[in-house]
Amino acid sequence: MTRVAIVTGGSRGIGRAAAERLAADGMAVVIVYAGNKTEADKAVEEIKAAGGQAIAARADVADEIALGAAFDLAAETFGGVDVVVNSAGIMPLGTVADMDLDVFDRLMRTNARGTFVVSQQAARKLRNGGAIINLSSSVVGLRFPQYGAYAMSKGGVEALTLVLARELRGRDITVNAVAPGPTATALFLEGKDEATIDTLAKQAPLERIGSPEDIAEVISFLAGPARWINGQVVRANGGII
């Protein structure tokens, strides 16, 4: 039986790399995207061109109706859902003093409520023996200025992940979070000059910025062979912390 993965935020960045890697691992993939249909369709075509199976589904992760429909589409098309990778997220920056609260609410809707909605659907619909992988961030531990709202949302993701792992006792479903460090995605690179990126690259003992493929490798491990890793946060950041 082919395993089936849903990847939110799968049209770009870490989500895109994760979708491509899981497809290469032999899974059928449903790429959930918020608005960039062009990139989502391109990701599907590239997976198919490489011999994999993929479809795209548009859904706001914070909308339980739309997200539930994406899970139903996965079941109708491929027979069920075994793996969920929740990589949808936004990262507006600002100090606590200056952060616009409308921006804060939007961030929390996508990162916190969105992760909860995805986790809820996964808890209800995943086949036994599956895996849930949420995306946190190493900034939870690094505590960079201007990342207060983002770190707050991702701290909640980590707490939810560990609780859900315990709630799914008896179903052989693993629940883990991956917390990337600085990674070369549009989300991370936007608004940063070369000097800032170089400084961040030097923080890791490996002296480089991570790639989406670096994170996808960890996701692949947690989605497949890592059956004895459960209720953990894996900080994939080259050794910054």
Q: Which residue has the tokens 């991370």?
A: 188
**Phi, psi (degrees; rounded to nearest 5) at 147:** -105, 15
Q: How far is CA 69 from the centre of its chain?
A: 19
Those residues with Cβ within 8 angstroms of residue 73's Cβ, 6 or more apart along the chain or in another chain: 30, 55, 57
User: Active site includes 150?
Assistant: yes
List strands edge to edge, sheet with 174-180.
53-58, 28-33, 4-8, 83-86, 131-135, 174-180, 233-236
Q: Which residue has the tokens 């909640």?
A: 156
In which element (H, E) is residue 233 found?
strand 233-236
Q: Residue 160 forms beta bridges with which residues?
A: none
- At 176, list the tokens: 């883990």
In 3D, which of 108, 33, 18 has the Cα closest to residue 70? 33
Query: Active site residue: 150, 158, 209, 234, which one?
Result: 150
Active-site residue list:
150
